[in-house]
Copies of this chain bind each other. A is one copy, B any other.
Amino acid sequence: MNAIGIAVSTVIFALRPHPTTRRPVLSIPLVRRTRAPFEGRWALPGGWVDPEESLETTAGRTLVETTGVRPSYLEQLYTFGAPDRSPTGRVVSVVYWALVRPEQIGERTDPAFDSENVGWFVADDLGSPRVPAAKRGDSWGEGDLPDLAFDHDAVVAYALTRLRTKVEYSAIAQGLLGETFTLSELRQVHEAVLDRELDPANFRRQVESSGTIVATGEHVKGGRHRPPRLYRYSTTIPLGETS
């Protein structure tokens, strides 16, 4: 045995409008710490592992308790354990990541949930420290972009790299959008991952000729004159390795 604490943290990705450009971008919720160490700083949602809980159960529980987000999909990302990552004693942190769909963000069922200390940030702003600070905006983290608590900047950067280089677009789209989606929603996912705009007509040609998505025959419900068609992937591809 050894006197090392073991905690779980989770990087949650969702597609949300950028505070200034309003273009949907990969966004991450953070929680403001209300105690030492790093009191007042933003950190990834998480907490200590309860001896009775599996690591994944801890990840799910602490997410709901701190952010109100209840993702349908959680995957272990990496375990961070540098001896100096916490100033108050050795802590090893098993990091999970999750992709959430818009309708999963609003679920704030836990009475302990404290929305004042939750903020959404642009993932790229957190993962690459040299870009300009995020702008103040409704429901976004306020003020200048903070240094995160612990080594959470490095954790976010690692999660972004993994998402961008190791995960299929089909898996990301299903995680962020659900089973069915419009071509315009799918393009927004590709734009958010690539971090640049794509030509809508070219994008449509490309994905339609690739054979990877198929029209479901359904359309978006609502009163529009020409409601957009709904598509799905022709094969379901799992979101990466599971334990």
Contacts and interface: CB of A to CB of B under 8 A. Distances in A.
Nearest to A7: B2
B81 A55 contact: yes
Nearest to A1: B5
A81 B2 contact: no
Interface stretch (A16-24, A72-80, A135-143): A72-80
Contact of A4 (B49, B80, B81, B82): B49
Interface string A80-98: 1111000001101010000
A36 interface: no
A5 B5 contact: no
Contacts of A158: 243
Contact of A6 (B54, B83, B92): B92
Nearest to A51: B90
Contacts of A55: 79, 81, 92
A241 B240 CA distance: 14
Q: Which of A5, A79, A94 has the most CB of B within 10 A?
A: A79
Contacts of A49: 2, 4, 81, 92
For the complex of A and B, 9 pairs with smallest distance between CB atoms:
A55-B81, A79-B79, A1-B5, A51-B90, A79-B94, A4-B6, A2-B48, A6-B92, A54-B82
7 contacts: A2-B5, A6-B92, A54-B83, A76-B79, A79-B94, A80-B243, A158-B243
